[in-house]
Structure 1
């Protein structure tokens, strides 16, 4: 649970989406992240994540794609910070992000992060009891991890969505977009320089 609560691009995405698009948007992003986690868990159960440690090319390809995606999210946030973002007539925000877009972004930030795959591959097998069937035990531990993450993202989303009224102020929204844009660039740079 402590590892799940560590700050990272997934948590940042939930906070930002919840603050700018309300709790439903944040929960949609969280659902996308959780879907990615299930994907990593399934890949670990069938042995696919072993490719990330066995093949430097596979790891580096995923790492560069993930960094490019995070840089894209950062650039998009910084671009939005330059535009007026006050509410439209009827109180809706001009910033794009339907729930399906938030879900897709959540899936992307998780599945394009090779560290998530290495996490599942290196940590989960340590908890599998000797003599237990690896496939079913891996799925069980993946389910436990996803439940913990769901609880954490629910709390994050609830807390961040409380800011949504304040975020409607254009100056606050611009500052939030700038901070998250720079943070996504930082996560991208960290992923690019990672040699694990």
Structure 2
């Protein structure tokens, strides 16, 4: 129902008198809204739980480091805490968001020079790898991992080395995101993630 008594808002934003809404449509709406409210409440609880775990893990790491006279600054770095019996572990990881500035275009130009010269050779696989690395996804974002992987290729051409330097110089850290995952030991001795994704439960 809407704030206007006796009316319901449809998908086009129009106010429809309640008596003109079929009962099955009303019951469907009621069911969806009831379950959505519960999901939203659970999402808020999960956000609070994540914050609690991050804070408590960070405090524990600080306490542990203080035994050695070390002082840390904030929840930085990856850490794994394991229960005494080894059945459970908590992993806190911090991932950096990486983008590239305009120097990436210089790197691409140098790489293209190399590829033009190498086309007479049988390096088609390398061309495919490079083209894939610089291909944007549907949202216009580059594949950061694929671009950084180019720097691990063992190529001695001076232009290639300059291109790899340009890639390194173009890297910009635009932020970080913290993740927390909880694992339980399985019968095989490995660890399974305890899923909090409703689709994985």
TM-score by length of 1: 0.22
* Higher Rg of the two aligned structures: 2
Structure showing the higher helix proportion among its residues = 1
Structure showing the higher strand proportion among its residues = 2
